[in-house]
A = this chain, B = another copy of it.
Amino acid sequence: MKNPDQLTEAFRARGLKVTPQRQAIFAALAGDTSHPTAESVYAAVSAQMPTISLRTVYQTLNDLAEMGELNHVNLGTGSSRFDPNLAPHHHLVCTECGQVTDVHASFDGLRLSDDQAAGYTLAATEIVFRGVCPGCQHSANQISPTRSSSMAAEGESPRP
């Protein structure tokens, strides 16, 4: 992800204003590798700027995604996640808690033949590995003898 100053430039270059709210969001995203949801970005920014609205966070994240400064990923965990990591990579998703981990690996041979492509104009290929993260493996062993309810926590702390 670009650093906050670069994002500031990118906004200015497009005639978009650089407000304190946006800067706070840029700062919250910088170096975040947790694939945050809009809610969790909101939580992080709210700590510094309690008056910011969730609406603004959504708006800014969408702007960033539209500008290509952020990837909008949907991994079936219930809410969209935003990935500041622009390098090509794939994801490992915990089926229990929804945690997402980057997989830095490139896979060759993922090209579709013409008839497999069924006439589609291909734009992107995403690979999602699903499994149980180390944390949930432990919880499963220690606490719950049966299968814990799947993806209840979304990998985030509960909202107030």
In the assembled complex, the Cα of A2 lies from the Cα of B131 at a distance in Å of 26
- Are the CB atoms of B122 and A125 closer together than 8 Å? no
Q: Is A127 among interface residues, defined by CB-CB distance under 8 A?
A: yes
Q: By the criterion CB–CB under 8 Å, are B112 and A129 in contact?
A: yes
Pick from B103, B128, B132: contact of A116, CB under 8 Å: B103
Residue in A80, A121, A129, A130 whose Cβ sees the most chain B Cβ within 10 Å: A129
Nearest CB in chain B to that of A92: its residue:
B120
Report whether over half of chain A's contact residues are helix, strand or loop; otherwise say mixed: mixed
Q: Are A119 and B134 in contact (CB under 8 A)?
A: yes
Give Cα A129 to B112, complex, Å.
Answer: 9
Q: Give the docked Cα–Cα distance between A118 and B118 (Å).
A: 35
Q: In whole angstroms, how far apart are the Cα atoms of A76 and B79 in the complex?
A: 9
Residue-wise interface mask of A (108-146) relative to B, using a CB-CB cutoff of 8 A (1 in contact, 0 not): 111011001111111111111111111001000000000
Q: Which of B80, B119, B133 is within 8 Å of A133, CB to CB?
A: B119
Whether B121 contacts A129 by the Cβ 8 Å rule is: no
Residues of B within 8 A of A107 (CB): 107, 109-110
23 cross-chain CB contacts under 8 A: A74-B74, A75-B76, A92-B112, A92-B118, A101-B120, A103-B112, A104-B116, A107-B110, A108-B109, A110-B127, A117-B131, A118-B133, A119-B133, A120-B129, A120-B132, A121-B131, A122-B129, A122-B130, A122-B131, A124-B129, A126-B127, A126-B128, A126-B130
Known: A101-B118, A119-B133, A125-B129. 6 other contacts (CB 8 A): A74-B74, A92-B112, A103-B112, A120-B129, A125-B127, A125-B130
